[in-house]
Structures are given as structure tokens and as C-alpha cells.
């Protein structure tokens, strides 16, 4: 019994699929091994049953064809299951499981219908229709899994896709060729043989060394497949739809040669087109790129993490290449001076060392320059003559870079005087480019300002946290000091007076005179204790400050100072307790520092209101100090923390040998 071409091809394909299942079983990753193995086995059963049934008795014939039908439909169901389960052989989600179950159910229904109709097996036409339909229906699920898969599974899916796309491309090409030129005939063995590319893709995907090439190769394979389908559709429409199909072998041969020529031309189109465009661009524009190429590339560069200096340098390089310039420069700046931010060639090359690196633009020139459009040598000689220095005889194009009416820079393009004149297209490119650069510079400055503000806020937050920590520590230390002073001073005096009172009571009857002396001593002790408590209270909150205000409290403090202190507090009023306490203790801190570091000097304390704030100053004519010396001192930190807690500020001014001054202010709300 002779084996047909389709049967022989089917056996070969089944063997290849079985071998692929055997080879992928040794891979480290999970794979759809059992689906492939069962599919190969079902295909072999279907082929063997069909071949054996041809020479069997009637009863065996029917039984064998029933087995072939069941095996053929099982191949289709397993094919659907394989597409849903690649690359690891697991269906995973519930919708995939339902889709696979639906595939088996449809296969069973198809087998039942074929058996009920008494057909001899599943026809090749039905098989050829069902398999591609299953592929099309399963594509969305494969695409979703590819998008969500990790990198290694994505590589394996890419190689499987390469095999499937190549198999489909070969099958479509064979069908179109058979339709047009009657070759190859028959098509079914060729289409069946093409399916061996799928298991080969599975095998390649399980080789880690091939993984990194899968994605890029899949892109190229899909492009070729898409072009093949497009060409096939064009040939079918033109030849079969609009013309007459070929009638004899010579027509078939000629059409086949045309199709081969079209395929060769298609494969060489892209590289030839790329080289042709480069040659034509160089011939037309005199450069490797068109002038407006820099516009397309600049926008894409702005989206990348490139510094502004590097971006402007790349811009100058692109301008020089695309516009055939001898030099390209970009100046930037916000004030009266524009600095050269980028230049190609760099300074020192091509005589550019004599060119200015900065331009001074006065308030008279700035509005004119800002509103000016693309300008040449004549305009530059009037408004920006410094640009012509060191350039010699040349052609210039200057385009101001501005945003919202604010001058941000200049773009300067230079050609030799003997070169081609600047074209309207080149001027248009410079104008549009200046607009994009202006927007980029404006955004960069906004980013810088925002970053500066964030840095200042971080610094202020850090200072606030440190100040709060110091305030808490200072409060704890002050409480411990008061507790210690009360324990060591007033408490001891009170305990001693209590003991003396008991003694006076005991001896009052026996020795009245001694008791009277003890009572007199107790009266003196009480006065001393009151004085000590009053002095201790002055360090907490002076009663005089609460009763009479800043002026009287500071004059009393000045009287206690070892220095000659003058207080000027005319015109001030009463303020909140926290404001008065902050200024009072800051002035005391300044007087203590003056007594420590400027002994014998004259000190002047001034307090006044000005522009919604309460200000004070403590000045002395002592030896002075350097400006950075007091910032790390305990006194300056105490004053800064005390005033900062209510929104005030303090600063020190001094020069060595010229005295010192402490200045502070508190806003009055």
C-alpha cells in the first residue's frame, strides 16, 4: 500500500513534534511537554488509522476511520490547548481553562457530527480551516500572556511565535503560489511540513543563549510575514480579480519569475532605500541630513535625562552638520550678560579663540534684540557688533531665543562669505528651533528655581527641627537649674529658719533675751531669702518686665551690668509677653557677651518700632570679631532660637577693632 505525500509528510511532522517534546523535557523551565507529546501521538494515530483503513474489511474500515476522526479532532483541541498554555504548559487563569475546555468540547462535537454523517475521517479541508481559526482565536490570549510574562518567559514566547509566524507564512505563500501558478501541488503536504517550524521554535526558546535574540528576530519575521500577506493579496486581486489566470505552463513560469523578482526587490528595498535617501539628501542639501532633521531630534532629546549644557552642545553639533556651517554657537543668560553655553567647533579651533565668550546687552538694546527675528550681518553690526569680532568675512544668522517676551539667549550660525547663502528653509528651521530652545531654557530655569526653593525649605525644616530640639533641651536644663538653685539656696535657708524658730520657741521662757536675738536673726534671714528668690525669679521672668514693660526692665538690667550701658526705648508700647520676653532675654544675652568679650566698653541698647516690626540693637565699642565667629557660639544660637520661635530674626555685625552690634527684629501682627 503506497504512502501518499500528505501521509508521508504527516508522519515526518509527527516525529519532529515527538522529538521536540523529548528535547524540551530536558529544559530547566516548565514547558507544554505533554500537550506536544499527546498531539504528536494523536496525529500518528490518525495517519495510521487512515492508511490502514484503506485495505481493511468493512467493519474494520469503519472502526479505523472513527479512530482517525477522533484523533484528528483531538489534534485540533490539543493545538488550542498548546496555544493557551505556552510557554510553561499551565493554563493558569479561569478564562484560559474555560477556553481550553471549549476547544475539547467543540472537537468532540465535530467528531460526533462527522461520525453521524458517515464520513470517512475528518477531511483535510476541515482540518485546514479549523487549525488557522484556532490560532486566530487564541492570539489575544497569547498577546496578553506575552505582555505580562517575565523576561525569560517572554523570550521563550518570542521564539515560539517566530516558529508559528514562519509556518503560517510558508503555508500562505504555498497556497498563493498554487492558486496562481499551480505550484506546489498538492499544497497540503507543504503546509503540514511547515508546522515543524513551531516545535523548532519551542526548542530554540528553551535554549537560554538564544533568548536575547528572540524579540528582535520576531519583529523582523512579523514584518516579512506582513509584507508577504500584502503582496499575496495584491497578486490575487490584480491577477485573479482584474485579469485572467495563467492558462499554460509558460504563463505559470513567467508569473512565477515575476513573483520571485518581486520578492527579491522587496527584500532589498529597505537597505537600498536608506542608502538612496542618504545620497539624495547629501546631493540636495549638501549635508548628510536635511536641515529640519535637527527640529525632529531636538524634541526627542529634551525628553531624555540630558543636562542643558549637553543638550545645547548636541544642538550646535546638529546645526553645523545639517546646515553645512563653519560654526554654530548658543548664548544663554538672564541679566545684561549672555554667556556662550555651547560652541562647535570649540574655542581655540578654526580661529574661534578671538570670538567673544560673553555679550553685554544693555537695557536699551534688550527690547530690540528680544523682538527681532532671524537677522543677518547688517543688523548684527548695529545692535550686536561684538558678535562680529574675530570672525572675519562671513555670513551670519542670529536668532534671539526668548519666552514670554523675555530674552533667554541667542543662536548664532556662521558660513563663509563664499559659501551658499542661507535659504528660507534654513531661516525657518532656526526660527522654530529658537522657539523650542526658549521653552527648554524656561523650563530648565523653572526646575532650577523649584529645586532651589525645595533646598531652602529642606534647610529651614532642618533648622526648625534643630531649633526645637535645642529649645526642649534648654527648657529641661533651665528647669534643672531652677530646681538646683531652689534646693541649694532658698530651701536650705527655709529649713534653717524652721529649725531656729523651734529653738526660739523652746528658749523663749528660759532666756527671753536670747530668743529675741534669734528672732532678729530670723528676720534678716527672711530678707536674704526674699532677695535670693527675687534674683532667681529675674532669670525666669522678671516681675518688672511684666509690670512696667521693656524699657524699665532693661534699664534695671543695665544698672546691674558691670558695663556702662545706655538704654533708648522711647516711643515703644506694651506688647505680648512672648515678644517682650524674647527681646528682653536677647538683650541680656548680648550684654553678658559684651561683659565677657568687651570689658570696659560703652554699650548702647536701642528698641524701636519700624514698618510693622519691633526692632532692637545692642552696640558696643569693644575689640570686635570676625563675622563667622559668633554663629557657632551658644549665645547666638540661643538668640536665633528664641526669636525664630515667634518669626523673628537676629544678626551680628562686627569688624575686628571696630566694635560689634547685635540686631534683631520681630514682626508685629
- SS in 3 state form for 268-329? HHHHHHHHHHHHHHHHHHCCCCCCCHHHHHHHHHHCCCCCHHHHHHHHHHHHHHHCCCCEEE
Q: What does the pLDDT look like over 334-354, one tens digit per residue?
A: 878 999 999 998 755 555 567
Structure confidence at residue 620 (pLDDT): 93
What is the layout of strands, in order, in the sheet containing 660-667?
564-568, 602-610, 613-620, 660-667, 649-654
Arithmetic mean of pLDDT, 193-222: 86
- Whether the predicted pLDDT of 392 surpasses 60: yes
Q: Collect all residues with Cβ–Cβ distance below 8 Å to 45 and sequence separation of at least 6.
A: 67, 68, 71
Which helix H or strand E contains 407, and what residues bound it?
strand 406-416
Arithmetic mean of pLDDT, 572-578: 89
Arithmetic mean of pLDDT, 83-104: 88
Q: What does the pLDDT look like over 239-255, one tens digit per residue?
A: 777 667 676 666 666 66
Arithmetic mean of pLDDT, 587-592: 88
Q: What does the pLDDT look like over 411-451, one tens digit per residue?
A: 999 998 888 888 787 888 889 889 888 888 888 888 888 88
Structure confidence at residue 320 (pLDDT): 86
Helices (H), 541-649: 543-548, 550-560, 577-597, 634-644
The pairing of strands 564-568 and 602-610 is: parallel
Q: Collect all residues with Cβ–Cβ distance below 8 Å to 465 and sequence separation of at least 6.
A: none
Structure confidence at residue 538 (pLDDT): 60
Peptide bond into 186 cis (omega under 30): yes
Structure confidence at residue 490 (pLDDT): 67
Q: Collect all residues with Cβ–Cβ distance below 8 Å to 313 and sequence separation of at least 6.
A: 342, 344
The pLDDT confidence band at residue 132, using thresholds 50, 70 and 90, is: confident
Selection from 560, 564, 554 nearest residue 535 by Cα = 560
CA distances from 304 to 8, 196, 261, 437, 607 (A): 58, 44, 44, 15, 57
- C-alpha count within 13 angstroms, C-beta hemisphere, residue 424: 0
Q: What does the pLDDT look like over 488-528, one tens digit per residue?
A: 666 666 767 777 788 888 887 788 888 788 888 878 878 87
pTM as predicted: 0.48
- Whether the predicted pLDDT of 465 surpasses 70: yes
Q: Give the percent of the chain with pLDDT over 70.
A: 81
Lowest mean pLDDT among 17-21, 30-34, 497-501, 548-552: 497-501
3-state helix, strand, coil in the chain (%, to 5): 65, 10, 20
- Whether the predicted pLDDT of 290 surpasses 70: no
396 vs 385: CA distance, rounded Å: 12
Structure confidence at residue 120 (pLDDT): 60
User: Are the C-beta atoms of residues 390 and 354 closer than 8 Å to each other?
Assistant: yes
- Whether the predicted pLDDT of 623 surpasses 80: yes
- Whether the predicted pLDDT of 657 surpasses 70: yes
The pLDDT confidence band at residue 602, using thresholds 50, 70 and 90, is: very high
The pLDDT confidence band at residue 1, using thresholds 50, 70 and 90, is: very low
The pLDDT confidence band at residue 638, using thresholds 50, 70 and 90, is: confident
Which class for 314: exposed (0-12), middle (13-18), buried (19 or more C-beta within 10 A)?
middle
Q: Collect all residues with Cβ–Cβ distance below 8 Å to 144 and sequence separation of at least 6.
A: none
The pLDDT confidence band at residue 374, using thresholds 50, 70 and 90, is: very high
- Whether the predicted pLDDT of 284 surpasses 90: no
The pairing of strands 337-344 and 358-360 is: antiparallel
Is 388 strand, coil or helix? helix
75 vs 79: CA distance, rounded Å: 6
Structure confidence at residue 629 (pLDDT): 60
128 vs 547: CA distance, rounded Å: 107
Average pLDDT for the chain: 81
Structure confidence at residue 147 (pLDDT): 80
Structure confidence at residue 619 (pLDDT): 94
Structure confidence at residue 302 (pLDDT): 63
Amino acid at each position: 500500500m503506497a504512502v501518499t505525500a500528505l501521509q508521508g509528510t504527516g508522519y515526518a511532522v509527527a516525529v519532529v513534534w515527538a522529538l521536540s517534546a523529548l528535547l524540551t523535557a530536558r529544559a530547566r523551565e516548565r514547558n507544554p511537554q505533554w500537550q506536544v507529546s499527546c498531539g504528536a501521538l494523536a496525529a500518528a494515530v490518525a495517519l495510521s488509522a487512515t492508511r490502514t483503513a484503506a485495505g481493511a474489511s468493512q467493519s474494520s474500515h469503519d472502526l479505523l476511520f472513527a479512530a482517525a476522526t477522533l484523533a484528528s479532532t483531538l489534534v485540533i483541541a490539543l493545538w488550542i490547548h498548546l496555544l493557551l498554555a505556552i510557554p510553561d504548559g499551565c493554563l493558569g487563569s479561569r478564562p484560559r481553562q474555560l477556553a481550553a475546555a471549549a476547544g475539547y468540547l467543540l472537537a468532540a462535537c465535530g467528531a460526533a457530527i462527522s461520525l453521524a454523517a458517515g464520513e470517512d475521517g475528518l477531511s483535510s479541508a476541515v482540518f485546514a480551516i479549523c487549525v488557522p481559526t484556532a490560532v486566530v482565536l487564541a492570539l489575544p490570549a497569547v498577546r496578553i500572556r506575552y505582555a505580562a510574562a517575565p523576561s525569560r518567559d517572554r523570550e521563550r514566547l518570542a521564539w515560539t511565535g517566530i516558529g508559528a509566524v514562519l509556518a503560517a507564512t510558508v503555508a500562505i505563500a504555498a497556497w498563493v503560489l498554487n492558486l496562481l501558478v499551480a505550484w506546489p501541488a498538492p499544497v497540503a503536504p507543504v503546509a503540514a511540513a511547515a508546522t515543524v517550524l513551531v516545535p523548532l521554535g519551542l526548542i530554540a526558546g528553551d535554549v537560554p543563549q538564544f533568548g536575547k535574540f528572540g524579540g528582535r528576530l520576531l519583529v523582523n519575521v512579523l514584518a516579512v510575514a506582513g509584507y508577504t500577506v500584502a503582496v499575496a493579496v495584491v497578486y490575487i486581486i490584480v491577477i485573479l480579480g482584474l485579469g485572467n489566470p495563467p492558462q499554460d505552463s509558460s504563463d505559470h513560469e513567467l508569473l512565477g519569475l515575476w513573483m520571485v523578482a518581486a520578492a527579491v526587490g522587496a527584500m532589498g528595498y529597505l537597505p537600498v532605500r536608506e542608502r538612496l535617501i542618504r545620497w539624495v539628501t547629501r546631493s540636495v542639501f549638501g549635508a548628510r541630513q536635511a536641515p529640519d532633521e535637527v527640529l525632529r531630534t531636538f524634541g526627542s532629546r529634551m525628553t531624555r535625562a540630558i543636562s542643558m549644557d549637553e543638550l545645547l552642545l548636541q544642538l550646535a553639533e546638529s546645526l553645523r552638520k545639517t546646515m553645512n556651517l563653519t560654526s554654530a554657537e548658543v548664548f544663554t543668560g538672564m541679566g545684561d550678560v549672555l554667556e556662550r553655553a555651547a560652541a562647535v567647533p570649540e574655542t581655540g579651533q578654526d580661529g574661534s579663540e578671538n570670538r567673544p565668550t560673553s555679550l553685554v546687552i544693555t537695557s536699551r538694546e534688550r527690547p530690540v534684540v528680544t523682538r527681532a527675528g532671524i537677522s543677518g550681518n547688517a543688523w548684527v553690526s548695529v545692535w550686536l557688533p561684538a558678535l562680529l569680532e574675530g570672525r572675519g568675512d562671513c555670513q551670519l544668522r542670529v536668532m534671539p531665543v526668548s519666552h514670554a517676551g523675555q530674552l533667554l539667549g541667542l543662536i548664532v550660525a556662521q558660513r563663509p562669505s563664499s559659501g551658499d547663502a542661507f535659504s528660507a528653509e534654513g531661516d525657518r528651521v532656526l526660527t522654530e528651533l529658537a522657539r523650542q530652545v526658549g521653552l527648554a531654557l524656561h523650563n530648565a530655569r523653572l526646575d532650577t528655581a523649584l529645586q532651589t526653593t525645595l533646598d531652602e525649605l529642606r534647610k529651614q525644616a532642618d533648622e526648625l527641627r534643630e531649633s526645637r530640639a535645642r529649645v526642649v533641651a534648654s527648657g529641661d536644663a533651665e528647669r534643672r537649674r531652677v530646681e538646683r538653685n531652689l534646693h541649694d539656696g532658698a530651701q536650705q535657708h527655709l529649713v534653717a529658719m524652721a529649725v531656729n524658730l523651734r529653738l526660739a520657741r523652746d528658749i523663749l521662757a528660759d532666756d527671753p533675751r536670747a530668743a529675741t536675738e534669734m528672732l532678729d536673726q530670723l528676720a534678716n534671714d527672711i530678707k536674704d531669702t526674699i532677695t535670693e528668690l527675687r534674683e532667681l525669679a529675674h532669670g525666669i521672668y522678671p516681675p518688672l518686665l511684666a509690670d512696667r514693660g521693656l524699657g524699665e526692665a532693661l534699664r534695671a538690667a543695665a544698672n546691674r551690668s558691670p558695663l556702662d550701658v545706655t538704654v533708648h526705648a522711647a516711643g515703644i508700647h506694651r506688647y505680648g509677653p512672648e515678644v517682650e520676653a524674647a527681646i528682653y532675654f536677647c538683650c541680656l544675652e548680648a550684654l553678658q557677651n559684651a561683659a565677657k568679650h568687651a570689658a570696659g566698653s560703652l554699650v548702647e541698647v536701642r528698641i524701636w518700632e519700624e514698618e510693622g516690626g519691633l526692632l532692637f540693637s545692642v552696640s558696643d565699642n569693644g575689640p570686635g570679631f570676625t563675622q563667622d565667629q559668633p554663629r557657632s557660639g551658644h549665645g547666638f544660637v540661643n538668640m536665633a532660637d528664641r526669636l525664630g520661635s515667634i518669626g523673628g530674626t537676629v544678626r551680628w555685625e562686627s569688624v575686628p577693632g571696630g566694635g560689634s552690634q547685635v540686631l534683631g527684629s520681630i514682626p508685629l501682627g
